[in-house]
Structure 1
């Protein structure tokens, strides 16, 4: 079972999309290059065809990037609720925030919270404004704690 500490939850909200943006810039540059070549050599249609191919690839990559961005925003809004939850559990149990780990990056009903090697199941209210912790016992005791 994988657990996440507060540091991981705070840093997890940042997404690395440099590769996708670099690919979009490269494809845009290649598309412009093919446009220039096509205007210089009107009789050679290979530049026009390459320009169309690069344009279609650029549109596909932009569409995929937009879809990924939407899902990241949804995940970010859900995971932003987790940081105050971990802090509240630590405060209520009178422990340091580093001693509280959770098995999910999003705040949902039924997640497992580990406090000082004891596991608790979270029962959230309908509006997620309050919670109760019920002692739980996990079957698989092999635990991986992601810290960064």
Structure 2
């Protein structure tokens, strides 16, 4: 999460710097119309600005998709807890996004989740993990 936040701040900073540089080169170009190097420089700034704006839009879409997938995990944990007569805090998962193959742990046993194609139901299949030294983060 911190890495994504840093990337967004970096992209915003680069976009702001490029906008300022673009404005400066356009002002200088408007004063010295015979020197086309300022026009070329402003075109370079526009292209780089478009590139970083596209990167930022892609990052925002990826963050929205991840947040949407993460929001699906909470109802899944509630459903597993209800189906197996457990408290929500007793159900642990190995991922923040609900996908096929997620490992669920409760009652000191591990299960692999098999999701239906439309995602409205699931089956749990007993799984055996290789590394039993698992650090649980709450």
Pairwise same-fold verdict (TM > 0.5):
yes
- CA distance in structure 1 between the aligned counterparts of 2:50 and 2:130, rounded to whole angstroms: 47
> Which residue is 2:131 aligned to?
140
Supply the distance in 1 between the matched residues of 2:46 and 2:15 (Cα, whole angstroms): 10
SS at structure 2 position matched to 1:119: strand
**What residue in structure 1 maps to residue 70 of structure 2?**
79
Q: Residues 14-53 of structure 1: matches in 2 within 5 Å?
A: 16=5, 17-53=8-44
Residue 127 of structure 1 corresponds to which residue in structure 2?
118
Asked whether 1:101 is paired with 2:92, we answer: yes
- Distance in 2, Cα, partners of 1:93 & 1:73: 31
Aligned length: 134
Relative to the length of structure 1, the TM-score reads 0.74
Please, which runs of 5 or more residues in structure 1 have no aligned partner? 1-11
* Matches of 1:103 and 1:86, distance apart in 2: 12
Question: In structure 2, do the counterparts of structure 1 residues 56 and 127 end up closer, same or farther at CA, with 3 Å as the change threshold?
Answer: closer
- Relative to structure 1, the CA distance from residue 47 to residue 145 in structure 2 (aligned partners, 3 Å threshold; closer, same or farther) is farther
Task: Give 1:105 deviation, angstroms.
Answer: 2.6
- Residue of structure 1 equivalent to 2:81: 90
Instruction: Kindly indicate whether structure 1 or structure 2 has the higher relative contact order, using CA contacts under 8 Å at least 6 residues apart.
Output: 1
Give SS of 2:111's match. strand
The CA distance in 2 between the partners of 1:48 and 1:127, in whole Å, is 53
TM-score, with length taken from structure 2: 0.78
Richer in helix (by share): 2
**Structure 2, unpaired ranges of 5+:** none
Distance of 2:61 and 2:129 partners within structure 1: 34
How many Å apart are 1:38 and its aligned residue? Answer: 1.1
Q: 1:98 to 1:22 in 2, by over 3 A?
A: farther
